[in-house]
Structure 1
Amino acid sequence: MNIYERIGLKRVINACGKMTILGVSAVDRTVMDEVAEAASNYVEIDTLIDRVGELISTHTGAEDSCVTSSASAGIAISVAAVISKGDPNLVERLPDSSGLANEVILLKGHSVNYGAPVTTMVRLGGGVPVEVGQANESEAFHVASAITGRTAAILYVKSHHAVQKGMVPLAEMIRIAHEHGLPLIIDAAAEEDLKKYVAAGADLVIYSGAKAIDAPTSGFITGRKALIGACKAQYHGIGRPMKIGKECMLGLVKALDRYAVHKHDGRADIPALEAAIAEVNGIRGLSAELEQDEAGREIYRARVRVHADVLGVDAAAIEAQLRGGSPAIYTRKYYLNAGVFSIDPRPLQGDDLAVIVARLRQLAGACLQENTAKENA
């Protein structure tokens, strides 16, 4: 029985991924020891923010970094930074950015909802989102033609939530931004490569600490020193309600150190996934196959297909029963309309995978039994 079961909540099996709705990550004990020690001592917070920024930058290769409470906060703070440029008067004035260069260009296919709209985070920072192109296709001219004297930055969203095809490549977005003297901000919240986007020339890159890195609730912005200074300045403005505690700052640093040594190897998950896939393929009415992450990350999952013509119910019905049972089993359900859901092995613990397969067998058997009863009635 885990701590949440002890307070009356049901067990949750997370086969969905590093998702905010499920508490994101299971944090390693060594990281939590660092959190506990940091929480029990005092420190000058401004000095800590600067030092943590330096330590984060050793992992990203950037000039400097700004620790945040989350990737969402990082978007709002980054937008406020490029609008205010750290001017104290403007910092205090935001999110009222009237009369300032405040437009933030993003591809329409990147205007995603990850639990909240990314455009809401832009507005919280005082920005005015300007979506360009179409949802399934964008061209460089769409971006360039939207740039005016009111443009503050270009935002690029690197996420599985975003449209993956038909978008302007990142390198082209960076070229356009710099050709027009604009900063390029990347929302890379769940990305696993902490150096790639800084090395590519992005000016500010935003990561979640609690996703790939398995840190406690946290995030960070990494990039050009002048802009990072403007990000830190926002803690005297819109960043104040987004501040992060000293304990989570040091928990993030410890998790980053651990991540550098124990970075998740997606290919190591394949044997267990293939064994589970073989079991699912032996269940009448279901089939499964190995799939790679849709955004190209080195993450592998088991994609389960529900054959509604055999079971008499569709993938949405099976997924709802998985999620509604005890333990509650959460899978990746982005493609239920296509008759499939996926099992992400990264958050699984103990016998979770065996429990999932057993539950699928039970649900499929119950559906088949009900179909037989109807036929015999």
Structure 2
Amino acid sequence: MASRSVAAVIAGTQLTRIERLPDSEGLHNEIVLQKGHAVHFGASITQMIALGGGKAMEAGHANHVEKRHLMEAITDRTAALMYVKSHHAVQKGMQSLETMLSVAQEHKIPLIVDAAAEADLRRYTAMGADLVIYSGGKAIEGPTSGLICGRADLIEACRAQYKGIGRAMKVGKEAIIGLLTALQRYGTREETAQAQKQRMGWLIDQLTDINGLECRLARDEAGREIYRAELRIDAQRLGWSATELMKRLEGGDPAIYTRHHYANMGILQIDPRPLLPGQEQVIVKRIRELAGAK
């Protein structure tokens, strides 16, 4: 979706341009994003930009970006600004989405928001973003797929990329039906943030007596209404490092997968969203077995 959005702002609906991408030599092809947003989320976002014909222009520093950095990164070759709303992105020292919107509007440049895992499907277009990218397989809970929302002319340009780079990005009819079904069901789920807190609170209570584990409720670092159980592991006291515990959980039957972005810092998280009712009990039982607790 990022590649197609980039292609759309570079080539528009002009067939000759569409057919030559990702070769964009001589076109407005620079995509400005904050350096802390040039992340890897299973693939490199700068590679995704390049596949759409874009040249990623990283503004500022990995932990500090000022509005002036963004302003000075804009040239007569700039095709769009991009904002990555993700827990993968650096949260410290980055400019807000509101600032990015103001810069884009001041320079009359489109703003692309990569909101792949976000749950609110209306917020960013309502704020003024020109294109917003969502994953169909994350918060929407559909199959591997994606969708783009935004300005009618840019959505038309996204659709036009089917005759170019979009041709290789088609999903099957089954995935289309799955995504449409997931969208129809979206918003009707009963579990709320409060229910997540209750489930994860119970899990934390069951593990608090384990020597070497410090447990707490943690809100999603990107500000979403998602609440997880965070386990801080003291390897000397527990007998396992966070990475070792993670591997043993994954290697068990059933396999238990944690959020392990901070495993190198001794932190694992349990996410309630993919869990069926009662599966938190399975997780507690397995962790207690590994920790030697009764």
Task: Give the TM-score band, short-chain normalised.
Answer: over 0.9
Give yes or no for contact 1:96–1:126 (8 Å, CA) kept in 2. Answer: yes
Give yes or no for contact 1:291–1:301 (8 Å, CA) kept in 2. Answer: yes
Give yes or no for contact 1:267–1:298 (8 Å, CA) kept in 2. Answer: no
Matched, 1:100 2:12: no
* Residue in structure 1 matched with residue 123 of structure 2 by the alignment: 196
Cα separation, 1, equivalents of 2:179 and 2:264: 37
**RMSD over aligned Cα, in angstroms?**
1.6
SS at match of 1:291: strand
Cα separation, 2, equivalents of 1:269 and 1:311: 27
* Residue in structure 1 matched with residue 214 of structure 2 by the alignment: 287
* Residue in structure 2 matched with residue 121 of structure 1 by the alignment: 48
Quote how far apart the aligned CAs of 1:170 are.
Answer: 0.6
SS at match of 1:328: coil
Equivalent position amino acid for 2:39 in 1: V
Give yes or no for contact 1:106–1:154 (8 Å, CA) kept in 2. Answer: yes
Identity across the alignment (%): 55
- TM-score, length basis structure 1: 0.75
* Residue in structure 1 matched with residue 96 of structure 2 by the alignment: 169
* Residue in structure 2 matched with residue 323 of structure 1 by the alignment: 250
Quote how far apart the aligned CAs of 1:350 are.
Answer: 4.5
SS at match of 1:261: coil
Cα separation, 2, equivalents of 1:304 and 1:86: 50
Cα separation, 2, equivalents of 1:264 and 1:240: 37
Give yes or no for contact 1:156–1:170 (8 Å, CA) kept in 2. Answer: yes
* Residue in structure 2 matched with residue 251 of structure 1 by the alignment: 178
Give yes or no for contact 1:267–1:299 (8 Å, CA) kept in 2. Answer: no
Which structure has the larger Rg? 1
Quote how far apart the aligned CAs of 1:282 are.
Answer: 1.9
In structure 1, runs of 5+ residues without a counterpart are: 1-73, 367-377
Q: Map 1:1-377; keep pairs closer than 5 Å.
A: 74-262=1-189, 264-365=191-292
Quote how far apart the aligned CAs of 1:260 are.
Answer: 2.9
Quote how far apart the aligned CAs of 1:305 are.
Answer: 1.7
Cα separation, 1, equivalents of 2:146 and 2:214: 38
Give yes or no for contact 1:332–1:344 (8 Å, CA) kept in 2. Answer: yes
Deviates more, 1:273-282 or 1:251-260: 251-260
Deviations 1:87-135 (A, max 9, x none): 0110011111011110101101001101000111100000011111111
- TM-score, length basis structure 2: 0.96
Equivalent position amino acid for 1:360 in 2: I
Deviations 1:255-307 (A, max 9, x none): 11211332752221222211111111022222311111111110011011212
Q: Quick one: structure 1 residues 304 and 118, their matched pair in 2 at CA, closer, same or farther if it must change by over 3 Å?
A: same
Equivalent position amino acid for 2:58 in 1: E
Cα separation, 2, equivalents of 1:104 and 1:264: 38
SS at match of 2:197: helix
Runs of 4+ in 1 over 3 A off after TM superposition: none
Cα separation, 2, equivalents of 1:302 and 1:223: 35
Quote how far apart the aligned CAs of 1:312 are.
Answer: 3.3
In structure 2, runs of 5+ residues without a counterpart are: none
Q: Which structure is higher in helix share?
A: 1
SS at match of 1:104: strand
Quote how far apart the aligned CAs of 1:356 are.
Answer: 1.2
Cα separation, 2, equivalents of 1:250 and 1:275: 37
Give yes or no for contact 1:136–1:166 (8 Å, CA) kept in 2. Answer: yes
Deviations 1:164-212 (A, max 9, x none): 1211111110111121121000000000011110011000000011110
Cα separation, 1, equivalents of 2:50 and 2:76: 19
Deviates more, 1:342-351 or 1:175-184: 342-351
Identify which of structures 1 and 2 has the higher relative contact order when contacts are C-alpha pairs closer than 8 Å and 6+ apart.
1
* Residue in structure 2 matched with residue 371 of structure 1 by the alignment: none
Q: Quick one: structure 1 residues 248 and 312, their matched pair in 2 at CA, closer, same or farther if it must change by over 3 Å?
A: closer
Deviations 1:119-161 (A, max 9, x none): 1110000001111111111011101101111111111000010
SS at match of 1:175: helix
